[in-house]
Structures are given as structure tokens and as C-alpha cells.
Structure 1
Amino acid sequence: MLGALRFAGFLAVALSLATTATAQNTTHDPRNAPRITGIGVISCVEPGDRIVVKGSNFGRAGGKSLILKDSYVRVELPVTRWTDRSIVATLPRHSALSPGAWYQLGIENKRSGEWTSAQRRPLQICAVKDTDTQVDASGNPIDPGRGTGTPDRRPVDPPREERPTGTKRPSTATPGTPPQQPPGPSVPNLPPLAVPGTAAADQEDDEVLAITGTLAEATALAQQLTGLGYAVRSLQELPVLGFALVRLGIPGGQDVPASLDTLRQSFPATLFDANTLYAPQAAAEPRHYARELIGWPDVSQACRLEVDVGLIDTAVDRSHPALRDSSVLARNFLTAGLKPAPPDHGTAVASLIVGDPASNTSGLVPSARLYAAAIFGLRDNDRVVGTTDAIARAIDWLGQQGVRIVNLSLSGPGNQVLRLTARRAHESGMILIAAAGNEGPNAAPVFPAGYQHVVAVTAIDAALQPYSEANRGGYIDIAAPGVDVWSARSGKGGRYSSGTSFAAPFVAAAAALVLAQDPDITPTLLGQKLTGSARDLGAPGRDSTFGWGLLQPLGGC
């Protein structure tokens, strides 16, 4: 009996040591450590601001805190949502946080005290304009311009140890002389696109785009290019995508291809491309069958699916009877001075996703929150176009809001900036769903649908036949109803529309059903669930007409 008790005691101790060792190994395994890739902040923050932390391996909220700290300060942030890939928090009012100061953001294990972060840059508390000498919570003087007046949203330089090492101040270059290339950015130097070059009509004819890894690199590059006659039209950090985007007006007398050739030769470590124009996919005429064809589940308002969906399109007519009671948050990404395109296309697609079930244009997931980014304007005799930079800025904004599903009912030529945007969005946890194109069965691939990290959606009719104008090719992933689909029209009422634009929102809504059930699912696994459950059409397996087959939604209430 005594021997049995001794053995039981030994076994308990051994199990305890094994459990402790396992926990320690899990805690210190770098593959399992939390990693912050974006914080949803472009400049500085002030108390009350919302911070959307993106990354991986956050785990569940239990036993963890989101901490802002430096060598002397530790402040816990109130959290409103915590998943394995995103955390939504608010910056509190705290006497220890000094205006103008920089802090690191990280996740702390409350039991072990371990604090981890892979944040790319620190977070700054907004400086203030009052120049009277003030003291902080510790009684130390605060620099002029950091008093208690109105917050100044312009960020100041980060702490010296955070600056890239080895960066020299760029010298003013003589026009026509290639300047010294600044240190290579953390953006991959992508190979040339394996698609035909774009025609002048498909891009801004007087500007190009540049991508750098950091805002500091973008600023240094802009200073050098200004000396070469380029005009910096915009310079913006896109934290979710992890790069800075510069829009450059080209010198007079040059065209886009010549400018790109020169820039790529002079700055081989920097990504340059045209500001390609994209167009919404078009419409046609009549019938009402889509839900029944794919067996769409009951997701009425009573379901209350807590999920966000992003829409990049024309503006949305939020006063339409089908949308005025829906949760639609809108933002405009048009270049200043450009006339907005009519809201017809965006309104139609929005109604397919979140239309009021009590209206005759009921949405697929009516209780979802729709974040609508308007990128399309009118030019060239009322031609509807959206620019590459507008798409990139819109995707980054959606990522900052914590939106993971993005519907892109648009298409155009290939572009390296757009390709990098799609890849970075995927890496940040977003799933991009795009129209496969209405250029005809023999047309070349269109983009962004043609990129690896984007779900390309084609359209079929009520008889399971492909839409006659739909593109075909190896990049097609899945098919959905897109011929004679009823949707809202701007103003009031509705109409039947045809095109891959109107098939894409069925897949976006199906992705929302999956995400509502599993908020931590990865984009890759989510895409596999959608295509893996598809009903095979055409040739066995994946084919160039239907992809993996007809969408079959997963889940519901």
C-alpha cells in the first residue's frame, strides 16, 4: 500500500513537471508567440481613439492584456474585441502617457508577466499646440508644443533607435541626373508581370505610383524625385498592407512608360508602376432564382450575424428603401476634384449583401455591417473608372476597421502595386473576392481576380449555364448566380442585372457565414471551405469555366 502511495505521488509530481515544461515550451516557442503586424494607426493617437491591432497567435483574451509601455510606463488598454488575429481596443486617458511621447504596444501574459510584440513601429501620443511649459505626471518638464492644448495630429520623428540605420540625408539632385538609390525598402522587388502592357487609356496618363517599405523611405524617395521634376501628389502610409504609397506626377514631356523605365533603372530596389484604371463590371436583363439555386440558408434579420463585410465599388445610395435601415458605413477614396460616379453599381451590389429582408431586394446577410469604400469617378466623357491607389487605400482602410471580407466587383489590367496589395491583404488576414470579368470566353485574365491570393468568381444562369460574356481561364475559382439577378437600383425600386459583378457578392456573403461561425479562420482555409464545398459543374474537378463549381453556402442560423 505504501509503495502504491509513493508511486502515485511520484506520478503526480512527474505529470506536474511535464505540464509545466509543456506550458513553458509553448510560451517560449517563437512560432506560437503573438505577432503584431498592424495597429490601424497612420499618425498619432489621443485618448478615446480606437486601435485595431492585426496579427497572429493572439489566442483568447483570458489571462492576457494589451499593454502600452516604455522603460518607465506600463498602461493596460481597455479591449472591446479579442480574437486570434485581431484586437480592438481604446486608448485610455492616463496621466502616465505623455503627449508627444512614443510607446511600444504588446501582449502581456498576466500569469507569467511575459510581454511580446513584433510591432514595426512605436505608437505616438498626439502632441499639442500650447507652447507654455508643462510638466508630466512625474513632474518632469514637457517640451514646448506638448502642453495641454488642442492635440496636433502631425506625428513627430520617432525615437532615434527606431529610425532605419545607415540612412543618409538625400542630396538635391540635378534634373536629369539619377540620384543615389536610398536603402532598399522592405517591399519585394517583384518580377515583371506576365501580362500584356496596359494601354494609355487604362491608366492615369500623367502619373505613376511608387511603393516603399516605410514612411521614412517614402519621404527620402520623394525628396530625390522632386529634384528630378516629379510632383508628389500624395504620400501615405498604409499600415495594414505594410508599405507606404507615393503618387507621383511625371515631368512634362514624358509619358508613363518612359518614366517607369527610367525610375526602375535608377531605383532598382523600389517598386514602381502605373496608376492603372479599373471599371465596375457591367449589367444586363431579367429573373428571380438565385437563392433557391444554391440553397441559401435562412439568414433573416432575426439571425443577427455579427460579421463585417467590405465593399469597394461606386458610392452606395444609403437612402434606398432596401438600405436605409441597414448598417452601412461609407468612406470616399476619390481623388480630390474628381466627380463621383453614379451610385447605381455600388447600390446594387450592397443590396445583394445587406438589403432589408422586408423589401423586395432582400440581402443575403442583412444583419451584417457593410463598410462601403467609394473609388469610382467620372472622366473622359463620363467614363467610370477607379485608380490603383484608391483601391489600395480602400483595402487598407477596411483592414484598419477589422474587416476581413472584401467584395471587389471590378476588374482591369495587371498592376504590380495591386498585386502586392492583394498579397499583403491576404497575409494580414483578409480574404479578397473579385469578379472574374465580363470580357468574353477568349479574353485574357483580369485583375485583381487573376492574382493568387484573390477568389475569382464567375457567373452562371438559372439553367447552370455560364454567363456568355464571362471570362474563362485557370484562375477561375468558383461560380455563383450572376445572370438576371434582382438587385436595388439607385433612388428606389430594383432591376435585373447580369455579370460577374453580381455573382461575387454571393461568395462574399457565403464567406461571411463561415467567418461568423469561426472568427479566427485563416483566409486560406476560408477559401478552401468555399471551393471545397462547391457543386461540381462541367468537366470533373476544377475547370476553366466554372472553377471548382457552384457555390454551396455553409452555415446559417
Structure 2
Amino acid sequence: MRIDWPKGVRIIARFIALFTTLGLLLDTNSLTAAESRASQQAAEVLPRPSASKPEILKINLQSCVKLGQQFTIEGKNLGNGRNLSLYIADTKPALQLNPISWSTRRIVTVNTDTSLIEFGRRYQLGIRKKGQKAWLTKSKLLLEFCRPPNSRLETASGEPATVNFDSTTAQARNPNDDASASRQPPTSNARIDEGVSRNVTDYVDRSGSLMGRSLPSPPQVRIAPPPSKSPDFEPNQLVVLSADMQEANKVSAELRNFNIRVKSRKKLTNLGLVISVFRTPQGEDLVDLANQIRAQSPDIWVDFNHHYQLLADPRHSLGQKMVDWPESCNKPARVGQLDTQVNLQHPSLNSKMITTKPFRPKNSEAVQDGHGNAIASLLVGNKMNNFPGGLLTQGHLFAADIFWEDSDKKYTSTEWIIKGLDWLVSQKVSVINMSFGGRQNLLLALAIDRVIQKNITVVAAAGNSGKDALPIYPAAFKNVIAVTAIDKNQNLYKKANRGDYIDFAAPGVAIWTAHKKNGFKYQQGTSFAAPFVTAMAAVSDIETLKNSSIDLGEPGRDKSFGWGLIKINDECN
């Protein structure tokens, strides 16, 4: 039954309902504010949840990873790589990889160094912040590195040959190498099979011949920044070796993507190569540029135009008597040298069989410091009242003039060394003397291997940088005969380099040689020891030198004297 309340009562009832509703709302707001304050207080007590850590979930590889092979890592929360680094986590020290791209779910990287890797063992990947040692994550998945095969190349005669290349870590050794085997010097018959470099840590499968076909892929090694002092290479230049002109043109087209252009190009007929020098943009970081090219175009043989210095240490020795050299050695020999300019009017050289040819930049100033004269006089010089004469009385010397002066600096570069080598091969020399040294260079290693494939012995000075110095190249390339210096008391020259690459010792302190203009001078340094071995190699073979040498220092071959002081027997007769 509907009750009809008076109008005043109805108005009062509505006001009561309205105030009740407002009261409930106020209570609710008060509770919400209280809960908010309680939550805030709890947040101050409880730790905040941390950002999600990176996780490596998958490595896209069907089997083991090869040197130079690109592979992909998938995961979660990987970041963008700006403040993170990727490592092989359980080498000592951890071996950093070089990612090509990095996103929150995927990292694409390439293996460019196996210097710390034990082949056949499995390794974890790890990620940590740059500059920190704590790991953000380590993968549960394990990565295995392929055991590198020996490369199969062909010599000019079609015989198979093995070539091994260095990694960027010059002093690192492959733990699987037989130490005793690596210390055997190459013989005239086995020289090719021992490779082109020392301290081998990385090998690359390069199937096929190097002669008249496309070059196999070079070893994928990352170029380290140069020392903080002045860079030891030509600025704004990179050098490339190709198998032929067609391949060289393809490389030029590909390198246009990097905004670099050909500066010069020459076909090296005798080495079966084409050398191209490229000009890079002014101010370009050559280390980054070369590494980009190697990563994106791994089939291109590219390197710096490295500088190489003479290995003389400016200061009558009985050098010939120390090695039992006869007063005259009438055995004919064709010998080559890469050095500074030879003065054919010098009294010790003016009637000798010497052929010279310059290999220098146009308008460059030849170095006439007497170093080339000294080496030439030791090899083939005239016998005079105050000079005992050269070692090879009937020798014909072919001298490539490859050094020039620039702002009081005397040097040569990769480009001109290789061009000089090509010419010496054309002259049918049996041995080449290289009394200079510098950094390791892939292209020079390849060119020297081509020379050795022609059964030409290469002899080089071991270096004058001291016992703790890194190896000097080309002496440290395998198959190059590295020569150190000793004095008349058979003591090691105090500034001589040491290392596994040393093959022989020879007189190199207070050596009386031709000098500048018409003069003579006492000289010291491994530069002046090398010609003694060069002359012996021209009339003998390496195995005979090893067997006839006098052991010095520790028993057997050692890092200071190699196989010892060379001695001539009756090879000249």
C-alpha cells in the first residue's frame, strides 16, 4: 500500500540519504589514502625489483665454429651492446668477441681469434658490462671451435704445399703444436711445407691453388690499433693483393662502398699477383676501416702499407774468420738484396757484377746512408788493402733500391717491398737478403710465400729491439731464415731480439764494411749478420748449415742463438 508522506517529510528524507552517501565516500577516500601511505612505507622497506638480466638462449650453429665464421646468438634482454661486451667466458683471460650487430634479442658476431682456444674443448659465452669483471650472464649452451685444417696450396710445379698464417697475437702459440717440430729449420726440399709464419695460432681452410686462380680467403684477424706514438704505416692508404686483373677490378668495385679509390695498380707477373694501393678519405680511421672491410668482405686480402726500418746500429772485425770463410769463394751465385741505394762508384763495388733497380714513389729521395753499400760489399765487394772483400767473389748481385727519405725518416713500405720481390724473382736469384724489419703484414707474408714457392731462400735480420721485444718481420715469418748477431767472443749482441723464430747466429758487431761515398766504417747490428748467412745459403743448403753450426747458449736450438754460429765447410770448392 502506497503511503503518501507530507511534502516536508519527503524533503527531509532526501537530505538524510544524500548525507549518508557523502559520508560513505569520505570514508572510502580516507581508506584509499591510508592504503597508499602504507604501500609507500612498504616500498621504502622492501628492495625494488632489479632490471631483467640478459639471457643467452640459442647459438645458431650446426656444428663447431670456424675461424672467421659469422654466427648468431639469440636471447632475451640482451640490450644494444653500447655498454656491454661479449666473451668466450672460460678462457684465461676471457677472449672478447667482435659483434657485427647487437639488439635486445639477437647478436651477430664473428670469431677472429683463437689464440687462447684449446681445440676440441667446449666453451661458455658470457656477457658483462664494459670495464667490469662480474658476469651478467653465462650461457648454458657450449660453443666448440673447429680444429683448423692445414691449407692446401699448390707450388708453381703443381706440388701441394701447406701455408700457415699468424693471428694478431704475435707471441701466442697453438697449444697443439709440437714444440720440437716447430723448431726444425726448413730445408731446401721441405721449406714450402712449413708455412709462411712463426708462432702459428690460427689456420684457415683455403682450398685450391694460389697460382693463376682466385686467391683463397685470408686469415680473419682483427687489426689492433697502432702504438700511441706515430703510426708505422702510410697514412690514407690500404693495400690489396689479388690473383689477377679481373679480381682486382671486382675488389675495386666492392671497395667503392667504403668510399676508397685506386691510387695505383701493378701486375706482378713473377709472383702471379696484382697489387693495388687504395687512397682512403682524409681523416678516416684506418684501423676501423680495415676491420670493417675484413668483416664485410672476408675474401679480400687487405692490409696497411706498413713501414719497415733498417736494422743497423751505427758504431776491422774478423767476421770472415769467425765463420771459417776462405779468402776467395769462386762458386757462381745470383743473389738479391732489398735495401737502400747502392753506389756503384764506391771503390769496393765499382768493378763488381751488380744490377740495381729503384722501387720507390715518384720524386722520392733515395736513401744514400751507406747501408745498401755495406750489405753489397759484404756479399760481393772488391778485395782491397783495408777491406777483406765480399764473401761471394764470383757473385752477381741484384739490388732493389726500396728505401726513401721523408722528413729525416728513412723507411720503405709493404707496396715497394713486394714490387722489389717480384723483380728479384724475375732475375732468377737463389737467395734474397732483407736487412730490415717492421710489423707483421698479411700481404707481405703471401708475397714471401710466393717467392719461397720458387725455391728461393729468404734471409732476414732478426731485429735490434732487445730481449723483451716482439718478433720482427719479415724475419719472424716461417720459412724466412732469421739471423741474429754475435761479437768476436761469441757473445750475443746486446740489442738483439730473442724468440723461437731465431735460426742462426753470425758476426754482427764491429763489422768493417763499405759506407757512404767512398768511405768504410765499423758497423753493428743484425743487418750486418744476415749477409753471412745469405752468402752461405747461396753456396750451400739450410740443412748443411744447421749440421755444421757451432751450438751456443743452451744445448740445442734456443731463443737467443737459434742453431748457433754458422760455419762454412768446403762448399765454396
What range is the shorter-chain TM-score in? 0.5 to 0.7
**Given the alignment of the two structures, is residue 259 of structure 1 paired with residue 275 of structure 2, yes or no?**
no
* Alignment check: 8 A CA contact 1:478 1:550 kept: yes
For residue 343 of structure 1, report the CA deviation from its aligned partner: 4.2
* Alignment check: 8 A CA contact 1:215 1:236 kept: no
- 2:390 match: 363
SS in 2 for 1:225: helix
**Given the alignment of the two structures, is residue 390 of structure 1 paired with residue 419 of structure 2, yes or no?**
no
For 1:366, give the aligned amino acid.
T
Residues in 1 aligned to 2:287 and 2:266: alpha-carbon distance in whole angstroms: 24
Residues in 2 aligned to 1:36 and 1:283: alpha-carbon distance in whole angstroms: 38
> Alpha-carbon deviations, 1:208-237, whole Å to 9, x = none?
111222221012222443464322122122
1:279 to 309, 320, 340: 309
Cα gap change, 1:318/1:55 in structure 2, threshold over 3 Å: closer, same or farther? farther
For 2:379, give the aligned amino acid.
I
Aligned pairs for 1:315-464 (under 5 A) are: 315-358=341-384, 360-361=386-387, 362-379=389-406, 381-464=407-490
Residues in 2 aligned to 1:222 and 1:337: alpha-carbon distance in whole angstroms: 26
SS in 1 for 2:373: helix
For residue 490 of structure 1, report the CA deviation from its aligned partner: 1.6
Aligned pairs for 1:52-67 (under 5 A) are: none
Residues in 1 aligned to 2:349 and 2:314: alpha-carbon distance in whole angstroms: 22
For 2:326, give the aligned amino acid.
P
Residues in 1 aligned to 2:423 and 2:545: alpha-carbon distance in whole angstroms: 25
> Alpha-carbon deviations, 1:453-479, whole Å to 9, x = none?
100000000000000010011110000
* Alignment check: 8 A CA contact 2:333 2:392 kept: no
For residue 195 of structure 1, report the CA deviation from its aligned partner: 8.4
* Alignment check: 8 A CA contact 1:459 1:479 kept: yes
* Alignment check: 8 A CA contact 2:502 2:562 kept: yes
- 1:540 match: 555
Aligned pairs for 1:302-317 (under 5 A) are: 303=330, 305-317=331-343
For 1:529, give the aligned amino acid.
T
Select the structure of larger CA radius of gyration: 2
- 1:473 match: 499
- 1:529 match: 544
- 2:218 match: 189
**Given the alignment of the two structures, is residue 556 of structure 1 paired with residue 567 of structure 2, yes or no?**
no
- 1:107 match: none
- 2:17 match: none
- 1:130 match: none
* Alignment check: 8 A CA contact 1:377 1:386 kept: yes
Residues in 2 aligned to 1:543 and 1:397: alpha-carbon distance in whole angstroms: 35
Percentage of pairs with the same residue: 33
Cα gap change, 1:527/1:253 in structure 2, threshold over 3 Å: closer, same or farther? same
Cα gap change, 1:457/1:328 in structure 2, threshold over 3 Å: closer, same or farther? same
Residues in 2 aligned to 1:214 and 1:385: alpha-carbon distance in whole angstroms: 28
Residues in 1 aligned to 2:336 and 2:414: alpha-carbon distance in whole angstroms: 17
* Alignment check: 8 A CA contact 1:296 1:553 kept: yes
> Alpha-carbon deviations, 1:277-325, whole Å to 9, x = none?
001112333x32111111112425xx2x221000100010110000000
- 1:292 match: 321
Aligned pairs for 1:78-117 (under 5 A) are: none
* Alignment check: 8 A CA contact 1:311 1:407 kept: yes
Residues in 1 aligned to 2:532 and 2:445: alpha-carbon distance in whole angstroms: 24
Count of equivalent residues: 370
> Alpha-carbon deviations, 1:505-547, whole Å to 9, x = none?
0000111122xxxxxxxxxxx3222223211011100001100
Residues in 1 aligned to 2:503 and 2:220: alpha-carbon distance in whole angstroms: 24
For residue 36 of structure 1, report the CA deviation from its aligned partner: 8.4
Aligned pairs for 1:71-82 (under 5 A) are: none
Residues in 1 aligned to 2:383 and 2:550: alpha-carbon distance in whole angstroms: 27
SS in 2 for 1:503: helix
SS in 2 for 1:396: helix
For 1:322, give the aligned amino acid.
S
For residue 187 of structure 1, report the CA deviation from its aligned partner: 3.8
Residues in 1 aligned to 2:562 and 2:155: alpha-carbon distance in whole angstroms: 35
> Alpha-carbon deviations, 1:106-142, whole Å to 9, x = none?
xxxxxxxxxxxx9966xxxxxxxxxxxxxxxxxxxxx
For 1:440, give the aligned amino acid.
G
Residues in 2 aligned to 1:482 and 1:270: alpha-carbon distance in whole angstroms: 40
Residues in 2 aligned to 1:120 and 1:476: alpha-carbon distance in whole angstroms: 30
* Alignment check: 8 A CA contact 1:55 1:428 kept: no
SS in 2 for 1:234: strand
* RMSD (CA atoms): 2.4
**Given the alignment of the two structures, is residue 225 of structure 1 paired with residue 255 of structure 2, yes or no?**
yes
* Alignment check: 8 A CA contact 1:187 1:271 kept: no
- 2:300 match: 270
SS in 2 for 1:268: coil
Residues in 1 aligned to 2:262 and 2:422: alpha-carbon distance in whole angstroms: 20
**Given the alignment of the two structures, is residue 494 of structure 1 paired with residue 520 of structure 2, yes or no?**
yes
> Alpha-carbon deviations, 1:8-63, whole Å to 9, x = none?
xxxxxxxxxxxxxxxxxxxxxxxxxxx983xxxxxxxxxxxxxxxx8889xxxxxx
- 1:178 match: none
Residues in 2 aligned to 1:453 and 1:468: alpha-carbon distance in whole angstroms: 25
Extract unaligned runs of 5+ from structure 1. 1-34, 38-53, 58-83, 85-117, 122-163, 165-184, 515-525
For residue 437 of structure 1, report the CA deviation from its aligned partner: 0.2
Residues in 1 aligned to 2:266 and 2:159: alpha-carbon distance in whole angstroms: 25
For residue 394 of structure 1, report the CA deviation from its aligned partner: 0.7
For 1:372, give the aligned amino acid.
A
**Given the alignment of the two structures, is residue 203 of structure 1 paired with residue 233 of structure 2, yes or no?**
yes
For 2:531, give the aligned amino acid.
P
- 1:504 match: 530
For residue 198 of structure 1, report the CA deviation from its aligned partner: 5.9
SS in 1 for 2:231: helix
> Alpha-carbon deviations, 1:477-507, whole Å to 9, x = none?
0000000000001211311000000000000
Q: TM-score, with normalisation over the residues of structure 1? A: 0.63
For residue 241 of structure 1, report the CA deviation from its aligned partner: 2.5
For residue 358 of structure 1, report the CA deviation from its aligned partner: 3.6
For residue 389 of structure 1, report the CA deviation from its aligned partner: 1.0
Cα gap change, 1:375/1:508 in structure 2, threshold over 3 Å: closer, same or farther? same
